[in-house]
Structure 1
Amino acid sequence: MKIQGKMFLWLSVFILVMAIIYGLWSKEPAGTTALFLAFGLSVMIGYYLAFTARRVDAGAQDDQEADVADDAGEIGFFSPHSWQPLALGVGGAFAFLAIAIGWWLLYFSAPLILVGLWGWVFEYYRGENRTQ
């Protein structure tokens, strides 16, 4: 993770330089704002990866002498299926559609988003997967 953190932090420096040059040269606020937001997102991802790399063991990608087989094995747990992202996606689509159509559409999208978020967070705390 250490190398990925450095890559994102260097990418953020590049995006910041390009945002400043673009903003001064074009004087166009939307693209300049988008580049500064991309800079912020890149800094957040880079900081998270660099911070996490200090707390976990070094992976095979951080070793110059590592082989591909050194990174083999179990990566982690991934949910086999879940309907909750669909509910969040539909609710989010309705919420963004509310900007174009009318704010009344938020009355339909907010419950979908809340139910999808609640279900996704607690999907392994009920039924056969419940811990006791």
Structure 2
Amino acid sequence: MKIQGKMFLWLSVFLLIMAAVYGVWSKEPVGTTALVLSFGLSLMIGFYLAFTANRVDAMAQDNKEADVADEAGEVGFFSPHSWQPLALGVGGALAFLGVAIGWWLLYFSAPLLLVGLWGWVFEYYRGESQNQ
């Protein structure tokens, strides 16, 4: 995690320099504000990663002699078959399309989003996947 912290801190330095150059050169406040806010976000993430790197054990990416297989292992549990992300994706696409076309499209996307979210949250509480 030390490497990621350093990367974000160097990115924040780069963004601050680019914000200054862009602000002086273009005199456009919106882009300059976006770059300054990106600098702040990158600085917060970099500080958090650098701060927590001292509290956790060293990972394989912190060792220069490490192989790719050193971090191998179980990453987590991922649902093998789920239709809920498709419903959420279609509902989200319709919702964002509603912003461009008309707010009336949210009447069709909101139920799809709610059904997809409800199904995804409670996916393993019913059917053959239910814990007994």
- Give the TM bin, normalised by the shorter chain: 0.7 to 0.9
Deviation of the 1:52 alpha carbon? 5.8
User: Given the alignment of the two structures, is residue 72 of structure 1 paired with residue 52 of structure 2, yes or no?
Assistant: no
Q: Partners in 2 of 1:55 and 1:127 — Cα distance?
A: 42
Taking a change above 3 Å as real, the CA distance of residues 47 and 91 of structure 1, as seen in their structure-2 partners, is farther
Q: Partners in 1 of 2:79 and 2:47 — Cα distance?
A: 26
Q: What 5-or-longer segments of structure 1 have no aligned partner?
A: none
Deviation of the 1:81 alpha carbon? 3.0
The higher radius of gyration belongs to: 2
Identity %: 83
Deviation of the 1:110 alpha carbon? 1.7
Taking structure 1 as the reference length, what is the TM-score of the superposition?
0.73
* 1:28-77 Cα deviation digits (max 9, x unpaired): 34533443454455346545645664564332112233233322333332
SS in 2 for 1:57: coil
User: Partner residue of 2:110?
Assistant: 110
Taking structure 2 as the reference length, what is the TM-score of the superposition?
0.73
Q: What 5-or-longer segments of structure 2 have no aligned partner?
A: none
Superposition misfits of 4+ residues, deviation over 6 angstroms: none
User: Partner residue of 2:9?
Assistant: 9
Q: Partners in 1 of 2:46 and 2:87 — Cα distance?
A: 30
Aligned residues: 132
